[in-house]
Chains A and B, each alone.
Chain A
């Protein structure tokens, strides 16, 4: 594609194509080098591995999964702030877990003493009913880490009879609607639910062609 100044630029593709991947034919040597780098990076703090640390686990793998009846996940700073302002307090809730991860956008640590401006991912349990779990995830979980996050967090839970609620926010400008978003009264709520969720939803369902992506979608 040529621009007005005559230089040729490669048009970005909506298909998210990674040309490098296609062109790169890996030799056995390349594969070995890549494996070594991955091994090394998982040892130091700059790997893509996610660690989920639970307070009741001493590190053994043969522990019982957590019995959980309700799991509320707040993803993003706005949703995390909502929980901090209206739900969480140090009397009724205790910290039971933390996610340690690193990516190009943020880094979290295993400390549970966090400021609202930090990037963190913490798990809380309701003291009066320990089967109610809450997660505040204000850090960005990269594309290649989302599946890992999912498997490691939900892998620690017993999922029968579990009700999961995900809270998240999106910019109004991303909302697709017939009218202009300038005239829309915001903020407003939309929901997506699985067919197993039989209770009443407190707001309209998300209309096509709108979609949800990243960790809330995962």
Chain B
């Protein structure tokens, strides 16, 4: 599934052993994907390869993180991998929706790739429908986290220090007491599937998600990426952290073209 970029000079396939893999879920508001765009753009990460997969809708365009004429002509497709060895960070960006019935095959292939590259842990950025929150979730922070049991042992204590809130489990049959509590992430795309599969495969995976609705999700992306930064410390956050993230050039015209002057 993973195809390394040909960087010339006969370079070997990149080594991600011990790295943190950061990736988005294609979820409500595309918040995870927007947050990943901010990470790649700010840290000026280098593309090291892509996923050749039939699970995502095809798309292609020119470099979405272009800063000048010279670097604007590199082709970019729907699932690409970027890396920053100095921070032991490898990032997967997903740019299109899943094709029907392809959630499970993608998760399975992804997790077997994760095991083969021997990365230390996986962090999944996601979101969930804000209108599905219960009364308690309406109050307080809209941010939640989840850890697989293997990662809980390693960083569970750190989450408590950060005062983070774990995603609540809900009754399988709301209104009927005494039923099992299950994980329910409406609008989260592959989040729940990837989390449950990682739990059973012994993979160290963390989910960071935000409750949100469709609309202008740029502020949601900033909130989520700052949340991530509290833990991973990708950029310095002493001063106003939001101003440190660099918006990529591809975010231009998110809400349509300019208006025809004849309108006025």
Question: Which residues of A pack against B, CB within 8 Å?
Answer: 1, 11-19, 21-22, 143-144, 146-148, 175-183, 192-195, 205-215, 217-218
Q: Interface code B180-191, partner A: CB below 8 Å = 1, 0 otherwise?
A: 000001111100
In the complex, what residues of B have CB within 8 A of residue A207's CB? 62, 72
Q: Does A212 lie within 8 Å of B260, measured CB to CB?
A: no
Q: Select the residue from A147, A181, A193 with max chain B CB neighbours within 10 A.
A: A147
Chain B nearest Cβ from A3, distance in angstroms: 14
CB-based contact A16/B97 at 8 Å: yes
Instruction: Point out the residue from B100, B188, B189, B252 that lies within 8 Å of A209, measured CB to CB.
Output: B252
- The answer to whether B251 and A209 touch across the interface, beta carbons within 8 angstroms, is yes
Q: Are A178 and B258 in contact (CB under 8 A)?
A: yes
Contact: B28 with A147, CB < 8 Å?
no
Residues on the B chain within 8 Å of A195, using CB: 73-75
12 contacts between A and B (CB under 8 A): A1-B213, A16-B96, A16-B98, A17-B26, A21-B101, A22-B186, A143-B100, A144-B101, A192-B75, A208-B249, A208-B252, A212-B61
List the B side residues contacting A148 at CB < 8 Å.
Answer: 54
User: B230-252: which residues lie under 8 A (CB-CB) from chain A?
Assistant: 249-252
Partner of A211, one of B59, B101, B187, B260: B59
Q: How far is the CB of B8 from chain A (nearest CB, A)?
A: 11
Q: Are A208's CB and B64's CB within 8 A? A: yes
**What residues on B are CB-neighbors of A15 within 8 Å?**
26-30, 97, 187, 189
Q: Are A182 and B96 in contact (CB under 8 A)?
A: no
The answer to whether the Cβ of B166 comes within 8 Å of any Cβ in the partner chain is no
B192 interface residue per 8 A CB criterion: yes
CB < 8 Å neighbour of A181 from B73, B100, B257: B257
Contact B61–A208 (Cβ < 8 Å):
yes
* B74 to A, closest residue via Cβ: A195
**Known contacts A16-B26, A178-B257; is-contact A192 B61 (Cβ 8 Å):** yes
Check A19/B30 contact, CB under 8 A, given A178-B258, A192-B75: no
CB-CB under 8 A for A211 and B30, given A17-B189, A178-B258, A192-B75: no
Q: Of the candidates B96, B103, B251, B253, which one forms a contact with A178 in the assembled complex, judged by CB atoms under 8 Å apart? A: B253
| From B26, B54, B214, B260, contact of A180 by CB (8 A) | B260
Could you tell me the distance in whole angstroms from the C-beta of A2 to the nearest C-beta in chain B?
10
Give the distance in Å from the alpha carbon of A73 to the alpha carbon of B63 in the complex: 24
Distance from A103 Cβ to chain B, minimum over Cβ atoms (Å): 12
Q: Min CB distance, A122 to chain B, in Å?
A: 22
Contacts of B250 in A (CB 8 A): 208-209
Residues of B within 8 A of A179 (CB): 257-258
CA distance A178 to B252 in the complex (A): 9
- Provide the bound-state CA to CA distance between A77 and B54, in Å: 25
